[in-house]
Structure 1
Amino acid sequence: MTQSAPPPQPADGNPYAQQPDAAPQPTGGNPYAQQPGTVPPPAGAFAPAPPAPARGNTGIGGMAVGLAVAIVVALVTAGVYGAIVGATEYEIGYAAVGVGFLIGFAAGKLGGSSPVLPVVSALLSLGAVYAGQLLGIAMIAADESGMTVTTILTDYFDLVTEVWSEEADVMTFLFLGIGGFAAFSAAKKSAA
């Protein structure tokens, strides 16, 4: 077996120094500069992207769509929140935040950046959380009395609101406020 001789070392002993048969570095000492024989990138390849189009509908039509969707979402989330309250027999703060967030997000996303939408979303959230609490009370009463929820809400609505006002405490109003705040914030952030 024969051994090959090691490559010749430069006089200064640095094995990484440029060897005489190595390719010369580009002028200016930049190792990343254009090498001979390569194709340059096309003109404008690194140009900045054009600005994104404006988001959201800012006109009256966009605001009307945002309001309509927010009303539908408020009705649906009020029903879901009422079902949660009726099933658990507790008011759940995270659910109130979810109601507000969904209403505000839908209004802002589809309605654009109208300054009216966050305020209307907060008001709709207050109404949805309140309606959900009333629905929850009616569901609890329906379970205890054997009547239907519809009968309790139509025939005994004054009694349901009376029970709500008697059982309302600081937490009840806190949940209303948190839901309204979540709706306001979500409408502003999703429109931006």
Structure 2
Amino acid sequence: MSQPVPPPSGNPYAQGTPGTPGNPFAPAPPPAPVRNNIGLGLIVAVVTALVTAGAYGALAGAIEAEVGYAAVAVGFLIGFAAAKTGGPNPVLPIVSAVLAVGAVYLGQLVGMAVIVADELGGSFTDVFFDQFSLLTEAWSEVADGMSYLFLAIGAITAFGGAKKANG
């Protein structure tokens, strides 16, 4: 013989204890804390700019060409990382855009140094650090419209990435 099932105790319409997600009468969870640490956002933006500049330059040097999508990635990563850590401060998109221009420029110089070091059989560090002034002069002579377009693309996507991070 089977035992009769006792009726449920309490409110049969409640779907869990108060405070659980299935309970429509539970209080809403508190909102996530607002990130507002501009100092940390600036530090993250600078570090991200240096890392992405190196990656952009290594890619450009390896294939001996500039890549527009890489400039987009550099800018977006700088802006997104700065805003995610620094919060919705209106300064961060602007600083990110400026840093993105510097990162794309530095990446172009790194790419040139990689190419020159390969051609001359020297080391990258000798070309980049010891001959930096010659490298910047060479960049200014060979820079064309596409070089400047990539600088602008980096800045625009950094600004957009910062805005996107804060919805």
Q: Which has the higher helix share?
A: 2
CA drift of 1:182 comes to 0.7
TM-score, normalising length from structure 1?
0.73
Q: How does 1:72-151 map to 2 (within 5 A)?
A: 72-151=47-126
Going from structure 1 to structure 2, the CA distance change for 1:190 and 1:153 (only over 3 Å counts) comes to same
Note the residue ranges of structure 1 that are not aligned, 5 or more in a row: 1-36
Q: Secondary structure at the match of 2:70?
A: helix
CA drift of 1:50 comes to 2.0
Q: What CA distance in whole angstroms lies between the structure 1 residues aligned with 2:88 and 2:31?
A: 14
- The reply to whether residue 179 of structure 1 matches residue 154 of structure 2 is yes
- Who wins on radius of gyration, i.e. which is larger? 1
Give aligned-pair identity as a percent: 54
CA drift of 1:140 comes to 0.5
Note the residue ranges of structure 2 that are not aligned, 5 or more in a row: 1-6
Q: What CA distance in whole angstroms lies between the structure 2 residues aligned with 1:139 and 1:42?
A: 67
Residue correspondences, number: 153
Q: Secondary structure at the match of 2:100?
A: helix
What letter corresponds to residue 67 of structure 1 in structure 2? Answer: L
Q: What CA distance in whole angstroms lies between the structure 1 residues aligned with 2:115 and 2:33?
A: 44
Q: What CA distance in whole angstroms lies between the structure 1 residues aligned with 2:82 and 2:27?
A: 30
**What is residue 57 of structure 1 aligned with on the other side?**
35
Q: Secondary structure at the match of 1:57?
A: coil
1:128-168 deviation per Cα after TM superposition (whole angstroms, max 9, x unaligned): 00000000001100011112111112221121112211111
CA drift of 1:86 comes to 0.5
Q: 1:57–1:113: 8 Å Cα contact kept in structure 2?
A: yes
